[in-house]
Amino acid sequence: QVQLVESGGGLVQAGGSLRLSCAASGRTFSNYAVGWFRQAPGKEREFIGVIRWNNGFTVDTDSVSVKGRFTLSRDVAKNTVSLQMNRLGPEDTAVYYCASAPAGINLPRREYQFDYWGQGTQVTVSS
């Protein structure tokens, strides 16, 4: 059974940074893509970005609210994927999820394309 576990969430002041991590138990991320999503209260889950584990290639959201502030990376030695979030604002308050999917020619971006999900980690940004 594959399990994904997010960590690093918490409370941060506006303008601050947080680094979320996603770790997998039960397998490595080899040949998989790992994506990050977030869901704010009362809103739909939103795609943030996805990384191809084997070569570190990333695809980020086109959302202007996130682009340029959030960065995905991977740590091969630790078998983790990180989401570095900078210049956070109250609008970034949400539950953040990581998810994995087999890495095909095109990286997945839709929720239904991901087969395993973490439980989510809360990020709260105070103004």
pLDDT in tens, 94-114: 999 999 999 989 999 999 999
Instruction: Identify the pLDDT of residue 77.
Output: 92
| pLDDT lower than 50: segments of the chain | none
Instruction: Identify the pLDDT of residue 1.
Output: 74
- Among residues 106, 90, 117, the alpha carbon closest in space to that of 36 is found at 117
Instruction: Identify the pLDDT of residue 62.
Output: 82
Distance of alpha carbon 118 from alpha carbon 100, whole angstroms: 9
Distance of alpha carbon 84 from alpha carbon 80, whole angstroms: 13
Instruction: Identify the pLDDT of residue 120.
Output: 98
Q: Cβ(15)–Cβ(36) under 8 Å? A: no
Instruction: Identify the pLDDT of residue 63.
Output: 82
Distance of alpha carbon 122 from alpha carbon 99, whole angstroms: 15
Distance of alpha carbon 45 from alpha carbon 39, whole angstroms: 4
Distance of alpha carbon 49 from alpha carbon 56, whole angstroms: 12
Q: Cβ(30)–Cβ(53) under 8 Å? A: yes
